[in-house]
Chains A and B, each alone.
Chain A
Amino acid sequence: MYTEWNLAVKFLRDARGQTAMISVAITVGVAVIIYIVALITGLQANMINRTLGTQAHIKVYAPKEINLPAPLENGELRLMLEDPRAQRLRSINNWQNLRDLFDADAELLAVSPLASGPAFAQRGTAHMSVALIGIDPVRYQRVIPIANDIIAGEFRIGAGNAVVGSRLADELGLHVSDKLRIDAGGSDSGREAVLSVTGIFELGVRELDERYIYLDLPQAQALLGLPGGITTIDLLVPDVFSAERIAARLHHLTGLKVESWMQTNSQLMSALKAQRLSTSMISFFVAISVAFGIASVLSISIVQRTREIGILRAMGATRRQMLTVFLLQGALLGLAGAIAGSACSYALAWAFNTFGPGLFQIVIWPGLLISASAIATLTGLIAAAIPARRAARLDPVAAIRYA
C-alpha cells in the first residue's frame, strides 16, 4: 500500500490545478450538505420546540360517549338512524390512581392532571369566550413552563386568583390586580366567580393568549361543575418522537382516549416530513454532481497519465495496484473536500448564527461532520471506480507508445 499511496498522493499533488478545482467543488458540495442538514434540523427543532412549548406531548381524555344499541338477535336485521351524543364535560374516572400509575411510569417525565372547560369572561360590558384551565401549578409547570412566559405580574394562582393571556387582557383592558368576572354556566347556576388577575402571560400563540385563563384546580372544578374531577391529563416524554408509540401503549393500558402531539399537529408533522425529504433530495443531488466531478477529473487524469501507467505496468505494477492508485485518489479527494467542507460549514453556521434572523441557532454536531466526511470519502471511492478500472485495463504496450 506504501507505493500505491505515494503514487496517488504525488499524482494528485502534481496535477495541482485540477486537484484544486475539484477540491473546491467537493468542498462546496460538502459544506452545502452539512449546512442545509444542520439548518433544517435546527429549524425543525425550533418549530417542534415552539409547538411543544405550549402543549403537552401526550394528552389523555375520558373516552367519548357513544350510543350503545342493544345487541342483535341471531338472524335479526336492524335499520338504525343514529344520533351521535353531544359530548358533555366529563371527568376521567379514577384519575388519582391513573396519576399515580403514570407517575411510576419510567417513560413519562411529568404528569399533570387538569380540569378545563368553556366559560365567559366579563369586565364592564365586555364579554369574551374563554377556556378555564384548572391546574396543579407545580405539576403543570413541569409540562409547560408557563412562568417563563409571564410578561406582567407573577405566576400565582390560588383562591380567587387567575393568570390570563395577553390578548385577553388587552381586549378586556385588564392589568395586574384588576378584577375579572367568570361565568361558566349561566347566572342562575351559581357557577360564577370574581377573580383577581395576578399575572399576564404571552405564549405567542394567538388562540392561547386570547382564551386561556389559568386557575387553581379546585376553583376550576367548582366553576365547571366537576367537583373532584379532571378532564385531561397532560404528559411529558423524554424523546418527543416516541410520543406516538407511548400514546398507543397508554391507550392499550387504560382504554382512555390518548392523543400524542404528533396526531394533534399532523399538518406540522407532514410539513416537517416534506422538509426532510427535500433536504435529502438536495443532499443526494449535490452528492451526485460531486461524484461526477470526481469521476471526470480522474478520467482526464488517466488520459494524461496513460504513458506513466504504461511505464509503471512495465516495471511490475499489477492491475490491482493501478486500480488502487486511482481509487485512492478518489477517496483522498473526497476526504480532503470533506475536511475543508466541514470547516466551511462551520463558518456558514457561524455567519447565520451571528448575522442571521436570530430565530434559532444552527448547531453542527460532530456526528454530522463524521457521517458527511464518510459519505464524501465513499462517494469519491465509488466515483473513482470506473476511471480506475480503465486505468487498470490499459494495455501497457499501447500505453507506453501513447504520445
Chain B
Amino acid sequence: MPEEVLHLARVHKSYNIGQPAQTEVLHGIDLHLARGDFAALIGPSGSGKSTLLNLIGLLDTPSAGEIHLLGRPTQTMNDTERTMHRACAIGFVFQFHHLINSFSVMENILMPLMLTRGKPKLQDTQLAYTLLAEVGLADHATRRPDELSGGQQQRVAVVRALITRPALLLADEPTGNLDTTSADSVFQLLRRFHQEFGCAVLLVTHDPRLSSACDRTIKIIDGHIVSDTSHIASGDNSH
C-alpha cells in the first residue's frame, strides 16, 4: 500500500454559518490520496471543487470533519501552523499563473523557499535552474513574468509549485486559460514532474481530455463525491 498523503473524513463546509443564508457546499466528503496518485477532480460549476481544493490546501478550514495531511490532523492547527505545513507539504498551480510581477522569473520560483527559509541557498538556485531548463525557459530566468507568454508563465508557475518538493501538488484548472498546445505541454510537464518527484497530484479541470489522461477521476456533484474511478490508462504508470 503506497504512503498516504491526504485523508479526508466526513468533511463538511458551510458558508454564512448561523445566518439565514447558511448554505452547505460540501456534504461529508471522504477522500484518500496516496503518494504517486495523479487524480483529476471534475464536476460542473458550483459543485464545490474549488471549495474542496481550498480545504485540502489548508487555505480554508472545514465546518466539520477531519483533514489529515501527511498523517497529521490539521483541524487543531492555528493559522501559523497551517501556513508552515502548507509551505512544506503543498504546491499550488492556479488557473491564472499568479506570478508576482515585481520579481524576476527566478525570484518567483524561489519565493516559496524564501518565505520559509530566507535567503536562498546555492543548491536551491541550482535546482531552480535545472527545473527551469527542463521546462525550456533557462534563458528567461532574469526576465519579468509579464514578458513571457501565457504558456511560459504557467510552466514557471509549475516549477514554482515544485521547488519545495511538496508531497502534494494542487492544480486549479492549470490549463483553463491556455490554448490547446500550451495546455498539452503544461499537462505533460505535470505528468513528468509527478514521475520525477513522486508527489501526489490533484488536478481540478473542466477538460474531459485532461481528466481522461489522469490515472484517477473523482467526480463531484452538489457537494457529494459521486464517482471515484481508477483508470490506469495510456500513460505508463510506475505504481
A251 within 8 A of B: no
Select one of B79, B84, B118 contacting A2, CB under 8 A: B118
* Contact between chains at B80 and A320 (CB < 8 Å): yes
CB-CB nearest in chain A for B111? A315
User: Which B residues are in CB contact (< 8 Å) with A59?
Assistant: none
Measured CB to CB, the closest approach of chain A to B201, in angstroms, equals 17
User: Which A residues are in CB contact (< 8 Å) with B116?
Assistant: 316
In the bound complex, CA of A313 to CA of B94 (Å): 13
B60 within 8 A of A: yes
In the bound complex, CA of A396 to CA of B112 (Å): 15
A368 within 8 A of B: no
* Contact between chains at A313 and B114 (CB < 8 Å): no
* Contact between chains at B92 and A318 (CB < 8 Å): no
* Contact between chains at B80 and A400 (CB < 8 Å): no
Contact A396 to B98, CB < 8 A, known contacts A3-B118, A315-B112, A316-B87: no
The interface stretch among A61-69, A116-124, A304-312 is A304-312
Residue picked from A1, A2, A400, most chain B C-beta under 10 Å: A400
* Contact between chains at B54 and A315 (CB < 8 Å): no
In the bound complex, CA of A316 to CA of B83 (Å): 5
B223 within 8 A of A: no
In the bound complex, CA of A7 to CA of B114 (Å): 10
CB-CB nearest in chain A for B101? A14
CB-CB nearest in chain A for B81? A318
User: Which A residues are in CB contact (< 8 Å) with B114?
Assistant: 2-3, 6
A319 within 8 A of B: yes
Using a CB–CB distance below 8 Å, which chain B residues touch chain A?
54, 57, 59-60, 79-80, 83-84, 86-88, 92, 94, 98, 100-103, 107, 111-112, 114-116, 118-119, 160, 164
User: Which A residues are in CB contact (< 8 Å) with B119?
Assistant: 2-3
Measured CB to CB, the closest approach of chain A to B124, in angstroms, equals 13
* Contact between chains at A397 and B80 (CB < 8 Å): no
In the bound complex, CA of A221 to CA of B110 (Å): 92
* Contact between chains at B115 and A11 (CB < 8 Å): no
* Contact between chains at B79 and A316 (CB < 8 Å): no
* Contact between chains at A308 and B118 (CB < 8 Å): no
A13 within 8 A of B: yes
In the bound complex, CA of A241 to CA of B94 (Å): 69
Measured CB to CB, the closest approach of chain A to B50, in angstroms, equals 9
Seed contacts A315-B111, A319-B79; 5 additional CB < 8 Å A-B pairs: A10-B102, A311-B100, A316-B84, A397-B59, A400-B98
Residue picked from B60, B88, B102, most chain A C-beta under 10 Å: B102
Interface residues of A in 283-322 (CB under 8 A from B): 307-308, 311-321
Contact A314 to B57, CB < 8 A, known contacts A10-B102, A13-B102, A307-B98: yes
Chain A contact-residue range equals: 20 to 34
Select one of B57, B59, B115 contacting A321, CB under 8 A: B115
In the bound complex, CA of A13 to CA of B103 (Å): 11
* Contact between chains at A314 and B101 (CB < 8 Å): no
In the bound complex, CA of A122 to CA of B112 (Å): 97
* Contact between chains at B103 and A10 (CB < 8 Å): yes
Measured CB to CB, the closest approach of chain A to B114, in angstroms, equals 4
User: Which A residues are in CB contact (< 8 Å) with B86?
Assistant: 314, 316
In the bound complex, CA of A317 to CA of B86 (Å): 10
Contact A397 to B98, CB < 8 A, known contacts A1-B118, A2-B114, A312-B111: no
In the bound complex, CA of A10 to CA of B87 (Å): 22
- Interchain residue pairs with CB less than 8 A apart (10): A2-B119, A6-B114, A7-B102, A313-B59, A313-B83, A315-B87, A316-B87, A320-B80, A397-B54, A400-B59
Measured CB to CB, the closest approach of chain B to A192, in angstroms, equals 92
In the bound complex, CA of A13 to CA of B79 (Å): 30
* Contact between chains at A397 and B84 (CB < 8 Å): no
Q: Mark interface residues in A45-57 (1 if CB within 8 Å of B CB, else 0).
A: 0000000000000
CB-CB nearest in chain B for A12? B102
User: Which A residues are in CB contact (< 8 Å) with B79?
Assistant: 318-319
In the bound complex, CA of A11 to CA of B118 (Å): 18
* Contact between chains at A312 and B102 (CB < 8 Å): no
Measured CB to CB, the closest approach of chain B to A325, in angstroms, equals 11
